[in-house]
Chain A
Amino acid sequence: MVFSSLLFLFRFLPLTLLAYYSVPGKLRNLVLFIASLIFYAWGEPVYIVLILFSTLVDYTTGRLAGFFQEQGQRKRARLAVFVSAVTNLALLAFFKYADFFLQTVPSVFGAEMPVFNLALPIGISFYTFQTMSYTIDVYRGDAKVQKNLIAFGAYVSLFPQLIAGPIVRYKSVASQLDSRKENVSQFYHGVIRFMAGMGKKVLIANQIGAVWNEIAMIGTDNLASATAWMGIVAFTLQIYFDFSGYSDMAIGLGAMFGFSFPENFNYPYEAKTITEFWRRWHISLGEWFREYVYIPLGGNQKGMLRQMCNIAVVWFLTGLWHGAYWNFVLWGIYYGILLVLEKFFLLRILHKIPAWCGRIYTILCTFFGMSLFAYQDMADGAGYMRALFLNGGAGWMDQQTAFLATSNAGLFLIAAVGATSFAKRLVLHSLSERARDLAGIFFTVGVFAACLAMLVNSTYNPFLYFRF
């Protein structure tokens, strides 16, 4: 189930809110757990077994790790962590990467092997990371053991962030799981945040995504360079609005149920360096890798060479996490290299030049990164690069470029401004809190209506020719 659907808005959310607020506090985790399982099972009923399995494994390993830690048996506690990590990574490896390796490894020897062709269970990349974080946090003494299976189950399956993050580490919501006080202000801000996210997804990401799709459909042989650039700008904006919109909706929904989730995006396209970009983009993933991979490997504490190795490992994994395709690995490595270059000397230069130069450098690097990210087929990606930088089949510019530019200028402008903190700063500066809250109501109604219109329109398929 996705948030931006009539099913979620007209069935799931009202029913869940009603059920949640009509039971006493003690039962609310249970309501969330059940609702989340329904949410998860809606698309793929069978895979519900996986999430329950992952929940049970980490509930057990977490308790064991806590128990042994209390007894001072560090080795056994570590074994529990090991079991948790192996189980989760095995799940992830099997469902997400098995086919990739079965295709890649034999091909090195010129052989071929049958593949599983399994559908990727929704959200598996997110919830396996979350459950792992729990056992590790317990082992490290960062979090207390969760003895209530329902509360733990609610954490693992929590529907707001189940399928697209943010990756909520256990320690950041531990206390909220046991005792949280829902309140009016939090709920209200949750509504605004949810609607903002919905607007970002439905009104901007989907629309500008349609522009990208149209351009990608042209085929790189007939693509004018200017159109290709328009395409990559559209894709860059789409990915941001899609992903951050989803995070906003998750954070907003969490707030409606009394949770305060960590932020996941902080206007990444305003960053002045790539280092800064990654502190603003998919923050929860970056922190996860930092906390559970980079620092345990020694981080920057064990000499330059070791640090470079650690960065390489982290960025290889970050790339691979995004999908079992070589272009994602390449994309990860690309950012790894940029970050190393910045550490060596670029940062010093970037800090000296004017801010706008840094911003242009960062956004250009991002465009290039996105063109690696866009095509899972490396040959298609290379073709698109050719259209971007070398005069493609249709020259630098053509009639299509002109039409796409004039028809979508408004959309690009809204999206470009919307990707910056301009609107937020404007509202904070010019409106009192009272006026903001009042405006928020109109915002909610307006965005709700506009999103409904767009959602209905996207399923509206007049079928005209055959009967007329």
Chain B
Amino acid sequence: MRSIKITGIAVFCLMLLVCAALSFCLPQKSYSDIENRSLETKPEWNAADLLSGEYQEHYETYLNDQMFLRDRWVGLAAAIERTAGKKEVNGVYIGKDGYLLEKYSASDFDNAQIKENIRILSSFLNDAVKQYGARHVSCLLVPDKSDAMPDKLPKYAKTGIEKVKSAAAQLAQSLHKPGILLDTRTQLLSHQDEYIYYRSDHHWTTLGAYYAYAAWAAQTKRKAPKLADYERTVLFDDFYGTTYNKVHSKVPADSVELFYHPNQDGVKVDIDHGDAVSDSFYFKKAAVEGFNRYNVFLSKNTASIEITTKAKTGRSLLLVKDSYANCFVPFLAGDYEKIWMVDCRYSKQNVRDLLAEQTEITDVMVMYQANKFMQDTDLKALDGEAKQMETFDADSFFNE
């Protein structure tokens, strides 16, 4: 009996010592690719920090950030919670058929921010209509996965759909011309049994993007290539996306598909004014480097991308977008000779300046994931008022 107790004590002490030794000796990492943030490294101590408690705070963060096998522990935590019957772990719904869906609740949205974003976007679109005509301006709000594929949600799970609907209605109301705001959700909903969003990532698949393209083409009275016209190849089948990284909960890996059409031949892609130049929409190397296979579409997020195609349509497009457009834009290769893509989160240039500069532009499209658009705090680059404010400030500065 005594020997069992001694064994027990030894096991306990050994666990403490081994963990202590590991966390002490293993090399430190300064950045986590998966968490997408810098990690705290061992702080240097000094008397002042020690007295104020600042050193201690940093030290604890350092211990947590440098914990060995961090992702594995997170995965174990998710497995425990799933075993206990949890349908939501770390803000992610554990859905059906291996789907992981980000959870949105009313408290994730700030009404003032939504109002502000609607003001900026509607004024931008209204101005664009004045310049290019209603037929050449469109706005596509991509539904969140949970709203496009509600069947995959766990039973009774709530999504942000009510907020999205009311925001979309407000946006439609503030637009002077009807028909600019495109409803992609209905189209996607009718295909929700298909593989239109990644299971482990928040993005839509290339197939999902195609359905949205087809809906847009129908609405703008264009002839879109049929689904069968594309040559589809699966480039990766080992993709675990960002939603997965929040929970590390076991789901089947995603596959990433490319849709090839001859109209993509001879394309020129210029990222961030010569930062990277390519003759293809697809950046295999960028996708293999990290975990994020979605980067195959026009590499990682960047401020601006300039695309030249072989199309002879006499039309050029400004596309204000977030990452959902990256796998969508190849479908536009047959419709525009030139496409300027701008991501307001990274762009320092005001989009209105770009419009004035690029006189070739004939069409404007805005594409955002609806929920992210409502939460976005970086729309300043679209804002005409902010632009006036800036110049005003500059003037008063020089006058002083």
Contacts and interface: CB of A to CB of B under 8 A. Distances in A.
A457 B16 CA distance: 19
A6 B262 CA distance: 57
Per DSSP, are chain A's interface residues mostly helix, strand or loop, or mixed? helix
Interface in A58-80: none
Interface string A432-467: 011001101100110011101110110111111111
A5 interface: yes
B61 to A, nearest CB: 8
Nearest to B8: A441
A411 interface: yes
A215 to B, nearest CB: 12
A450 B35 contact: no
Interface in A1-33: 5-7, 9-11, 13-14, 17
Contacts of B392: none
A1 to B, nearest CB: 8
Interface string B56-69: 10011101110100
Interface string A24-47: 000000000000000000111110
Which size bracket describes the interface of A in this complex? Answer: 35 or more
Interface string B236-248: 0000001001100
Contacts of A203: 80
A55 to B, nearest CB: 21
Contacts of B65: 459
Interface stretch (A127-135, A150-158, A180-188, A236-244): A180-188
A364 interface: no
A172 interface: no
Given A184-B5, A462-B246, A407 B154 contact: yes
- Between B156, B158, B345, B372, the greatest number of chain A beta carbons within 10 A of the residue's beta carbon is seen for B156
A188 B5 contact: yes
A9 B13 CA distance: 10
Per DSSP, are chain B's interface residues mostly helix, strand or loop, or mixed? helix
Nearest to A433: B1
Given A188-B8, A437-B5, A444-B8, A406 B77 contact: no
Nearest to A42: B56
Contacts of A406: 85, 87, 154-156
Contacts of A444: 8, 11-12, 15
Nearest to A203: B80
B45 interface: no
A261 to B, nearest CB: 19
Contact of B36 (A10, A438, A467): A467
A19 to B, nearest CB: 13
Contacts of B34: 462
B312 interface: no
A410 B13 CA distance: 32
Interface of B: 1-2, 4-9, 11-13, 15-17, 19-20, 23-24, 34-37, 50-53, 56, 59-61, 63-65, 67, 70, 73-74, 76-78, 80-81, 84-88, 90, 106-107, 154-158, 242, 245-246, 292, 300-301, 323, 345, 372, 375
**6 closest pairs, A vs B, by CB?**
A410-B85, A457-B77, A456-B73, A403-B156, A188-B5, A453-B76
23 contacts: A10-B19, A14-B13, A14-B17, A43-B56, A45-B51, A45-B53, A184-B6, A217-B107, A399-B156, A399-B158, A402-B156, A403-B155, A406-B85, A409-B85, A444-B12, A450-B76, A454-B77, A456-B67, A459-B64, A462-B36, A463-B37, A464-B36, A465-B372
